[in-house]
A and B are shown apart, each in its own frame.
Chain A
Amino acid sequence: MKKLMLSVVVLGLLAGCASQGTKDQAVVEERGTGATTAGMEGKGVGMDPLHDPSNILSKRSVYFDFDKYEVKDEYKPLVEAHAKYLSGNKAASVVLQGNADERGSREYNLALGQRRAEAVKKMMNVLGVSDSQMETVSFGEEKPVAECHEESCWSQNRRTDIVYKGE
């Protein structure tokens, strides 16, 4: 006779450890408060250049090809503008958030997102921005801004976002 030894497995529910949701990254871009002290150096009527729609600095996303992490030529002016701003505003700092589209492995995409963040960081480094003003993080494929399952969405999700601290 064989006895079953089946203990009751109590799986602790750790909902208390769960944190509140972050703002969607796309929303972060639109909701900038413009409250950075760096913005005071901007010309004109006090419009923060980081949020002036006519200023290239209001553009924050560098997009990539599938499984690639080279910054394409069309995004170099954008990266250069932010590098120039950071070089002139030593108090400002950014988090470079790398992302990937949903296809393939989540872990590989986490690594790929990191490469995309690092690629922007390296370019900024070369342009004179100090390491202390930049931090990289990857969200892999976990934080898509567009949720459909085709290239029109995927192309929006393969990107590095330049997010200024305090925004």
Chain B
Amino acid sequence: MKRLFAFQYAVRHWLQGLAAMAFLAAGGAQAALTIDIVGSGATQIPVAIVPFAQENMLSQSLTGVVGADLTRSGLFKMVDTAGITPPPSQPNEVRYPDFRGRGADAIVIGAVATQPDGRLNVQFRLLDAARQTQLLGLSYTVAPTQLRQTAHRIADAIYEKLTGDVGVFSTKIAYILKRGKRYELQVADADGYGPQTVLASNEPIISPAWSADGSKLAYVSFEQKKPIVYVQNLANGQRRVLSAFKGNNSAPAWSPDGSKLAVVLTLEGHSQIYSLNADGSGLKRLTNSPLVDTEPNFSPDGQWIIFTSDRSGGPQIYRMPASGGSATRLTFEGSYNVTPRYAPDGKSFAFIQRSNGSFNVAVQDFATGQVQVLTDTKLDESPSFAPNGKMILYATEIRGRGTLAAVSSDGRVKQRLSEMSGDVREPAWGPLVK
């Protein structure tokens, strides 16, 4: 993968108020993105990751990236392996008491070898420290440029084996970076590495939305002096206008099967929700209210759309059939609830709630109606679920600067991702990599 910017990466992890450990993975000289983690999961699995044999010949530390991924989730505690010599790389070399004595429940060992064709073979094993058994063993043959991706795959495999949930370390995120008067739509790895600019403009760009297969982004660009919705193919950079009707065109949302998009148009003066086929044909009006209807979002099964409407006087969240029709109000707490986003399991939705002058990420359960406010920042926007539903990425503001942050869907783990050179906003977490 082409790296446009060299990144330095630091993770600080506070465990119950104590600075427990620090990682500094190899990167470039220019610091750009820092991820701070505050809080931890209800239980943290202690994992000892032994540096892989021959890893020191690589341009960057594989196990450093694996450890940083797992730590960032808040669900793992890294066990220091310094002093365990010689470091084991095969199961028969592991002296389990060394690891149990340091509190490890799981052990990760592995080895890297260069093949004659220049590719790298990476083998790793996940061991149960108590039962002294192997939980997982995988081998990857990859180009040297795919090291970070390989590390993310290893972290995904470990995460899935130990938590039972799918790992999302291999996924991508999209967001808008504003530097001075310039707006860039960027796509980066989920840990912020390897950002690539897929659109640059001197006019605002908002509302990026991933197609379910991760191949396309829909977004709103003001480059024609008004909001128009585009769809861009990420593989070849080609794009086309999806919606450029009279007035505003905005808030694109993909149906899960990729066949349709919901958009918001002002054909009759005020914002209403419409649907279009993915090729821009087949315009159909879905809402018919005298006031604002916007921010549509499809349910994972494609049957429903949740959206923001001020038909009750102020903005609240509603649900209607995906083909349009009568809507049911979902939110009743507070006078300002916007930007609903379905959880991947369809059982709850995230949204932004204003309370006491502060705008926070909240989650509401469909079955019980119970609302949990997850953040304590002031100006939160644009919640976006990780594809496994465990974290919510959002935009906020810290010391006057637009910043991305993430919070676990139970509110326990909080991360802040700061870009040093501008305002970052409008995050959208991409789908699982097939």
Residues of A that sit less than 8 Å from B by CB: 1-4, 6, 8-15, 17-22, 67, 102-108, 110-112, 114-115, 118, 121, 136-140, 142-143, 149
Given contacts A14-B198, A110-B250, 9 further A-B contacts (CB under 8 A): A2-B140, A11-B187, A12-B238, A14-B232, A18-B202, A19-B224, A67-B336, A106-B381, A107-B264
Known: A11-B237, A13-B197, A108-B338. Contact between A149 and B359, CB under 8 A? Answer: no
Which A residues touch B153, using CB under 8 A?
4
Contacts of B315 in A (CB 8 A): 67, 104, 108
Q: Which of A11, A15, A107 contacts B196 (CB 8 A)?
A: A11
Residues of A within 8 A of B270 (CB): 111, 114-115, 118
* Identity of the chain A residue whose Cβ is nearest the Cβ of B195 in the assembled complex: A11
Which residues of chain B are within 8 angstroms of A104 by Cβ–Cβ distance? 315, 336, 338, 352, 354, 359, 381
Q: Known contacts A19-B201, A106-B382; is A118 also within 8 Å of B338 by CB? A: no
Question: Are A105 and B352 closer than 8 Å at their CB atoms?
Answer: yes
CA distance A9 to B172 in the complex (A): 12
Q: Which residues of A contact B236 (CB under 8 A)?
A: 10, 12
| Closest CB in chain A relative to B69 CB, distance in Å | 16
**Distance in angstroms between the alpha carbons of A22 and B222 in the assembled complex:** 10
Indicate if the CB atoms of A9 and B295 lie closer than 8 Å: no
**What is the CB-to-nearest-CB distance from B265 to chain A, in angstroms, rounded to a whole number?**
10
- Which chain B residues lie closer than 8 Å to A112 at the CB level? 292
Specify which of A15, A105, A136 is in contact with B295 (CB 8 Å cutoff). Answer: A105
Is B227 interfacial (CB-CB < 8 Å)? Answer: yes
Contacts of A10 in B (CB 8 A): 2, 235-237
Q: Does any Cβ of A come within 8 Å of B223's Cβ?
A: yes
- Segment at the A interface, from B34-42, B108-116, B203-211: B203-211
Decide: A67 and B314 in contact? CB cutoff 8 A. yes
User: Which one of A4, A13, A111, A138 lies within 8 Å of B237 (CB-CB)?
Assistant: A13
Q: What is the interface size of chain B, counting residues whose CB is below 8 A from a CB of the partner?
A: 68
Contact with A along B111-149 (1 / 0, CB 8 A): 000000000000000000000000000111110011001
> Are B202's CB and A110's CB within 8 A?
no
The CB with the most chain B CB atoms within 10 A, among A4, A13, A17, is that of: A4
Residues of chain A with a CB closer than 8 A to B197's CB: 11, 13, 15
Say if the beta carbon of B251 comes within 8 Å of chain A.
yes
Q: Are B201 and A17 in contact (CB under 8 A)?
A: yes
B355 to A: closest C-beta gap in Å: 12
Q: Bound complex: CA of A137 vs CA of B250, how far in Å? A: 12
**Is B255 in contact with chain A by the CB < 8 A criterion?**
no
* Mask: chain B, 235-276; 1 = CB below 8 Å from A; 0 = not: 111110000000110110000000000001010011100000
A4–B149 contact, CB under 8 A? Answer: yes
B397 contacts the other chain (CB 8 A) = yes
Nearest chain B CB to A12 CB, angstrom units: 1
Query: Out of B224, B335, B359, which one reaches A103, CB within 8 Å?
Result: B359
Give Cα A18–Cα B204 distance, bound, in whole angstroms.
10
Is A111 a contact partner of B292 (Cβ separation < 8 A)? Answer: yes
Q: Is B1 an interface residue (CB 8 A)?
A: yes
